[in-house]
Amino acid sequence: MTAEMVALPDLFSRAARWGVPLTQYLNIPVINNAVAGESARSYSEQDLFTKLVDSVKSGDYVIIEFGHNDASAGSVDNGKQDAVGDGYNITSTVTTSNFAYYIENAIVALEAKGAIPIISSLTPDNIWTNGAIAAGGRFVTYAQSIGTRRNITYVNHYAYVAQAYNALGQTQTTTFYPIDHLHTNAAGANVVAEAFVRGLLCGSSTLKSKVNAAGQVVPNLSSTSIVGQTVYLAGDSTMARGGGGAGTDGWGQYLGQYLTIPVINRAIAGRSARSYTDEGRFTSLINEVQSGDYVIIEFGHNDGLSGDIDNGREDAFGDDYDTTATVTEADGTTEVIHTFTFYLQNAVTALQAKGAIPIVSSQTPDNIWNGNVIAAGPRFVGYAQLVGQSTGAVYVDHYDYVAQAYNTYGQTTVTTWYPLDHTHTSPTGANVVAQAFVRGLLCGSGTLKSKVNAAGQAAPNSRIPNGRSVTHQMISMLLSIAE
């Protein structure tokens, strides 16, 4: 039997408050199971998730939002803190498991009952930086990562509330917080509930079909679009989920932990600038993005010449826009192809026309060395830079920043990150490559640098092995994942 109900497991008093006004924006019942002072861990250990799973029916929606009480408590366990980390299997001696472990176990159990879980990031505190709500912490990123791993709806509640607060201003927002910087009054709770409804309406969850007439007009009460709320990635296997297979992974899977806004990885293994275009993937991406979204484009590994028979990926040789070449297909037919610059520049200009913010990134290095340093980059590194210059898009020399890191760690260590071949990295290597991209953002002028979170900000400033330093643009780098 299919039921229609929304259940809300939450951890903090404000959640209990915004869950109340949520009911006025939906046409199905809302049962608020939020309990003040709980974390993902304590909610789980007190069997509150178990009771919730037992109570839901097939077709019910369950909105899960934690984070305010999940941070480390210090040397003495408070019964709430989770182990630090973004993955499922991370543990510590004080806390049994981490944030993702507790929530993903609940999600699996809910799905087994036929319920529809929605993961929501925690809401902001009334803390401001330079006239805007302060950036979200690691639990915002953790929630997004859970949504990606479990393939369930993720609502960046933090970002939607921050947008509303920024529009209202600090003076008015502060009137919503009579006790402290965490807990809202009724008026503030309503703003937070409206922000969640905006998140539903801007997303793909089927729960948006249950938003009533009052909820439908909520997004029109403030700005009509969420600017710069999402980062999209377009690239090949070095960026894509699952990398080149056999336990490798792409760096795009690790970028999200260093940003305060969601990352959607549209990279596909084996693609070039040409094949990504010919398969309609750039067109789909252009149709998907909204004004203010960022799109990181990185190709090169598969764009080289293929020989007498076209492989469907090679580009015409040259760094200009107009050069073409005629290639022979396996069936004997011919096709006119264009340059790397042609394909990328067309994508960049189309994205700019949508109001999106493209970032052109050079390809990452292979594990190929010239003496004790990474070999010089191929021609596509220079081509990417030219596309950035010709379109006015931000350019990140990802090749160079990764090479800096690799040269510092040395060939022996770096080689351990390439278990399959000289192109595809292990998860550890992919994380280093992601950190290198963040360093490129922070050293550049693009506005995406303002979305780098505390973990990303710390990456360039942390120590590296044996006290060695990276001497080009940045002083040092981080290998481990920061809080």
What are the residue numbers of the active site? 237, 421, 424
For the stretch 43-52, contacts whose Cβ atoms lie closer than 8 Å and that sit 24 or more positions apart, written own/partner, are 43/9, 43/11, 43/102, 44/102, 44/105, 44/106, 45/79, 48/9, 49/9, 49/102, 49/105, 49/106, 49/109, 50/109, 52/7, 52/9, 52/106, 52/110
Q: What is the DSSP letter of 279?
A: T
- Cβ neighbours of residue 234 closer than 8 Å, sequence gap 6 or more: 266, 267, 276, 281, 282, 285, 295, 296, 297, 298, 299, 347
- Which SS3 state, helix, strand or coil, does residue 371 take? coil
- The answer to whether residues 272 and 238 touch, using CB atoms and an 8 Å cutoff, is no
Of the CA atoms within 13 Å of residue 201, those in its CB half-sphere come to 22
d(CA 42, CA 62): 18
For the stretch 370-377, contacts whose Cβ atoms lie closer than 8 Å and that sit 24 or more positions apart, written own/partner, are 372/407, 372/410, 372/411, 373/403, 373/407, 374/402, 374/403, 374/406, 374/407, 377/403
